[in-house]
Every structure is written in structure tokens, then in C-alpha cells.
Amino acid sequence: MFLVMADIWSRFQNYKRAKDQIFQHGFKTKIAINYTGSKCQRMALMAAAKELGMDKEVQRFYEKLGIGWYHFIPKFMLKDPLFFFRSYFWSRTFLERYYAPKFDFRNQQKALS
């Protein structure tokens, strides 16, 4: 139960960071590369991009890399079978630091309506 909650927390932090980055810089491959590690990270980026109207660019980028919707197993698990004992696995998967959003998207939406 703890690991599931920690994973949800980490993906939410990824989502907030990705949304800020895309809003600030537009779609950049440098941003998208950071979220290729796992399906959950890609989904966090895709959700942020969709809200900002840039989901097609993200989709095209992942298609160019050969990453499809069916790629569930993260690349690092295939490269390193002992990933469970590595600190990068724990920090990137379950222990993402709190990310304070730079922009208040809720108030921006209210101002536009």
C-alpha cells in the first residue's frame, strides 16, 4: 500500500513539473526525454501536454523513438536486472521530492472565462 501511494505521489510531482516546463518553454525534446523512463512518467507528461494542447507533439516524439502505448516495462528494468537494489530506482520511482508549481493554472482558467 505504501509503495502504491508513493508512486502516485511521485507521478503527481512529475505531472506538475512537466506542465510547468511545457507551459514555460513549449514542447522540447529535452523535456520529453526526461519522462521516457516508464509508462507512468510518460502518462504524466502526456496529461500535462494534453491540458496545454501539445499532446500531438509528445505523441509524435514518442512514436519517433519507437515507444508505444504497450511499452509497460521501464527501460531501466531491462538494462539492470538488479534495479531493485539501486538508489536511482527508489528516488525516481517512489521518492520524488515535492514540486511547488510555478504557475497557478486554476486562476488562469478562471480569468480566461
DSSP state of 81: T
Residue labelled with grid coordinates 480566461: 112
pLDDT (tens, 9 = 90+) of the chain, 113 residues, equals: 778 888 888 899 999 999 999 999 999 999 999 998 888 899 999 999 999 999 999 999 999 988 877 777 766 667 777 877 777 777 777 778 899 888 887 776 655 55
Alpha helices in 1-113 (DSSP H): 2-25, 29-33, 39-51, 55-65, 75-79, 87-93, 105-112
Residue 22, pLDDT score: 95
Instruction: Give the predicted TM-score (pTM) of the model.
Output: 0.78
pLDDT given at position 81:
75
In this prediction, residue 94 carries a pLDDT of 74
Q: Helix 39-51 vs helix 55-65: angle between axes, to the nearest 10 degrees?
A: 150
The pLDDT score that the predictor gives to residue 2 is 78
